[in-house]
Structures are given as structure tokens and as C-alpha cells.
Chain A
């Protein structure tokens, strides 16, 4: 499977986990980011994700490669949703396999932190009362 990919329909974690299966691996660590009903003290009703796919896939794949090289894990992948999501929806999934659990936990944390700060994905939240805003963009 692709190391980093976008999904335009619901993500199935069990299916993704199986694509990383290896008999030499005793650990699978996954992270799921879910759509939360509040942000910065404001109730959130739903959100939209938008991505610049050509660069996002390149940068996301670089992050996966960095994690594999840095932590010595066997396999890793990340899938991020695009489009309109409802509360509780799975927005981003990260999976890492390794011989032992320690490296897999570290690599999983590295991947989600780097994806959030480097990959060109934007989130627009919709609030009670009808207003909305692009996160990290609308403060000036």
C-alpha cells in the first residue's frame, strides 16, 4: 500500500492494519484522530478537510521514510480523510509495525506530529450559530 494516502470515504482501520502485517513483527501501534465536538472552547458541529494532494503525498511519504530510518521499524503508513466529516468520524490513521513495541510507539508519535505540522492539509470547522473558520489561518 502507499505509505501516505488520502481517503475520500470512511477509513477502515482493521483493513489498513492487515496491510502492514509481517511475521517478524510482534507489535502494531496505531493512532486514530477523530473529529472532536469542541475546539478552543467552542462547540464544533462538523468540519471539512482540503489537501494539496501532489505535495501532500510526497511530504507524507518522506515522513514515513524518516520514521522507518530513525526508529528502525518494519513498516508504517498514514491515511488522511478529505471532504466533509461528522463528529466522531475517523480523520487520520497511522499504523506502525515493529519487532518490539517501543520503537513502534515512538515512530507512531513522530509520524502524527510531523504530518500535523508539515503536510499541506487544511481544516475548516463549522460552529453553532452558523460561522466557520480555517484552523490556524483566521487569526489575522
Chain B
């Protein structure tokens, strides 16, 4: 089990009912972690979402290490 810090923004923050949490997970990748949370919080489908690890965009198959900070990024709408 690895302890991962997750932050939620916008629609994900509202669905999760929190701005962030520490999660003990067996998920080996960012995508596996999203799959774990998707059902718990009824998040939108993964194909519309991006992910950042330690404040940089990453592919979904990027490996997770203990202490990583993960942010899931639903479709953006600046401007």
C-alpha cells in the first residue's frame, strides 16, 4: 500500500465532497487510482479527464510512488 495525496478541483471536488484527501492504495498507476475513485465518487469517464503527478501532466500509465501528489483534471474552461 502506498499513501498518495489527491487534490480535487471543480466538478470532481463537488462529486467527492472534499478538496483533497490522503489515500492508501494498491493502485500502481494514475489510471488505476482513478478507476478506484471513479466508482466511489461517480466521477466522469476517464477519457475526458487528464492527470498530473507532482504538478506536471502525466500519461495515465505513469507509475505512482509513495508520497506522490496527484491531481485529476476534468475538461478545462478558462477564458
Question: A residues touching B (Cβ–Cβ < 8 Å)?
Answer: 33, 49-52, 54-55, 58-59, 80, 91-92, 112, 115-124, 134-138, 140
Contacts between chains A and B (CB distance < 8 A), count: 78
**Known interface pairs A55-B56, A134-B11. Does A122 touch B74 (Cβ–Cβ under 8 Å)?**
yes
- Which of B56, B76, B78 is packed against the most chain A CB atoms within 10 Å? B78
B44 CB contacts on chain A under 8 angstroms: 137, 140
Q: How far is the CA of A123 from the CA of B78 in the complex (A)?
A: 7
- The range of chain B's interface size is 20 to 34
Closest Cβ of chain B to A30, distance in Å, is 14
A121-B11 in contact (CB<8A):
no
A136-B78 in contact (CB<8A):
no
B10-A124 in contact (CB<8A):
yes
Closest Cβ of chain A to B76, distance in Å, is 6
A118-B79 in contact (CB<8A):
no
Find the B residue at minimum CB distance from A91: B79
B71 within 8 A of A: yes
Find the A residue at minimum CB distance from B74: A137
B9 within 8 A of A: yes
Closest Cβ of chain B to A40, distance in Å, is 12
Q: Which 7 A-B pairs have the closest CB atoms?
A: A121-B78, A122-B10, A136-B75, A135-B77, A116-B79, A123-B77, A54-B55
Q: A52-B52, A137-B74 are in contact. List 16 more A-B contacts (CB 8 A).
A: A50-B10, A50-B13, A54-B55, A55-B52, A55-B57, A55-B73, A115-B78, A115-B79, A116-B79, A117-B76, A119-B76, A122-B10, A134-B11, A134-B14, A136-B75, A140-B45
